Amino acid sequence: MQRIRSWRALIITNGSIIFPPQNPLFSLYSSQPQPDRTPNQPQNHGFVSPSRVQKLIATQSDPLLAKEIFDYASRQPNFRHSYSSFLILILKLGRAKHLSLIDALLLRLKAERYPVTQTLFSYLLKVYGEANLPEKALRTFYTMMEFGCKPLPRHLNRVLEILVSGRSLLRPAFDLFRSAHRYGVLPNTESYNILMRAFCFNGDLSIAYDLFNKMFKRDLVPNEESYRILMQGLCRKGQVNTAVDFLEDMLNKGFTPDTLSYTTLLNSLCRKKKLREAYKLLCRMKVKGCNPDIVHYNTVIVGFCREGRAVDACKVLEDMVSNGCLPNVVSYRTLVSGLCNQESLDEAKRYLEEMVSKGFSPHFSVGHALVKGFCSVGRVEEACGVLVEILKHGEVPHRETWIAVVPRICEEIDTGRMDEVRKEVLKIEMKRETRVL
């Protein structure tokens, strides 16, 4: 009833707003006095013009109220809405997810032979995609032909994206792709990329590879994304050598691989323990027009450290700095842990100090690796120094760190000294933010 009350100032006569009396909504129009007119003068509607109705609909924040205005105007004699009123109302209903009300408007557009633009269908595809209604999106594509509206490649691609987002509709997407030419729209490179990506994720690498080759037969040129999709698919299947061959083919054809393509290959090479190839690829990136970033360098550093080659990882860190890429906390954390695992404790401590000097807080995992390493070789004093450094930066040592260092300290000091330490500790003021593990 509140919506009906808000209608009160919406009835218009002769271009002026009339505040109607307390009448029911649908009797308001007939209650308005009609001006005198000559026999040849056309009847004047309560709503002055379709453009006025269009403005009223456009100004309503409530889509259901806009629909009531639309319906009320539709019942007036000899009144015909503008196409813009249909479009605006459909947009409002779509944003508000009143999707069931849209179908009737589309039927009316078709029955009354309105000339429909492609903008309407672009928006409908967007709405149905966001609502996860792939069947409605597919039906919308076919509805375009019913309105005499020729689909464009962007409409085909949007429908394909919506369909392949659910694995169960990959076959209907492929059928639409193959039959699109019957509806006057030819798939473009993006169309192929959408299906290639879907088949790669589905594990059907052979179909994706076949689609890639068919692009050349149909005078389409694969782009950087086409190559990246196949390289990622090959890497997921463990075929990293073939993926590298694709990279070479891409470079030979004058394409510049993007950073994600290199990240995929570097990660796969490192996991396949092809560290030499990974390092060579990292060095080639800059020459081929793609500067390595922190992700690329860290990927290789992690790969070397994971295989017990932390010394080689140090060389990667040096290359990173010389190429103007600053190491981050992940770089140092990985390197320090890797050096500790190889018992290169002095080198690990040096990188920890470098890390702290550059403003990075020493993560408790880094401190634990160093403390444990120093304790294992009897260098308790240096282990304590690392522990102090960690505490100084507000990091909380792990319980395992205390378990590693406390017994070693107890072995090296006498009972009297321990009592002195206990008394000193008790003098420390315990504050709310003080953490004791």
More confident residue, 136 or 397: 136
Q: Name the phi and psi angles at 363, rounded to 5.
A: -65, 150
Q: How confident is the model at residue 376 (pLDDT cuts 50, 70, 90)?
A: confident
Query: CB neighbours of 337 closer than 8 A, spacing ≥ 6?
Result: 305, 365, 366, 369
Q: How confident is the model at residue 43 (pLDDT cuts 50, 70, 90)?
A: very low
Query: CB neighbours of 141 closer than 8 A, spacing ≥ 6?
Result: 121, 125, 151, 155, 156, 159, 176, 183
Task: Tell me what percent of the residues of the chain surpass a pLDDT of 90.
Answer: 54
Residue 24 has pLDDT above 60, yes or no: no
More confident residue, 75 or 360: 75
pTM of the model: 0.75
Segment 205-211 shows an average pLDDT of 94
Q: Which of 61, 93, 115 is the last residue of a domain?
A: 115
302 found inside a domain: no
Q: Which of 80, 115, 150 is the last residue of a domain?
A: 115
Q: What is the pLDDT of residue 398?
A: 67
Segment 376-400 shows an average pLDDT of 73
Of 353, 99, 142, 374, residue with least CA distance to 335: 353
CA distances from 229 to 58, 110, 233, 291 (A): 43, 41, 6, 21
41 found inside a domain: no
Residue 193 has pLDDT above 80, yes or no: yes
Q: What is the pLDDT of residue 345?
A: 87
281 found inside a domain: no
Residue 37 has pLDDT above 50, yes or no: no
101 found inside a domain: yes
The predicted-structure confidence for 318-369, as pLDDT tens digits, reads as follows 999 999 999 998 999 899 989 988 888 889 889 888 888 888 877 777 777 7
Q: Which of 63, 81, 115 is the last residue of a domain?
A: 115
Counts of helices then strands in the chain (DSSP H, E): 24, 2
What interhelical angle do 118-130 and 134-146 show, nearest 10? 170
424 found inside a domain: yes
Q: What is the pLDDT of residue 19?
A: 34
Residue 104 has pLDDT above 90, yes or no: yes
The mean-pLDDT minimum among 169-183, 260-274, 371-385 falls in 371-385
The answer to whether 242 touches 256, Cβ cutoff 8 Å, is: no
234 found inside a domain: no
Positive or negative, the CA dihedral 226, 230, 236, 238 is: negative
38 found inside a domain: no
Positive or negative, the CA dihedral 180, 182, 185, 188 is: positive
Q: What is the pLDDT of residue 394?
A: 66
User: Containing domain of residue 85, as a range?
Assistant: 49-115
Residue 94 has pLDDT above 50, yes or no: yes
Residue 282 has pLDDT above 90, yes or no: yes
Q: How confident is the model at residue 430 (pLDDT cuts 50, 70, 90)?
A: low
**Average model confidence (pLDDT) for the chain?**
82
The predicted-structure confidence for 137-154, as pLDDT tens digits, reads as follows 999 999 998 898 899 999
**How many C-beta atoms surround the C-beta of residue 267 within 10 A?**
19
Provide the number of structural domains found in the chain: 2
291 found inside a domain: no
Distance of CA 83 to the CA centre of its chain: 35
Of 246, 267, 270, 259, residue with least CA distance to 293: 259
Task: Tell me what percent of the residues of the chain surpass a pLDDT of 70.
Answer: 80
The mean-pLDDT minimum among 173-177, 320-324, 421-425 falls in 421-425
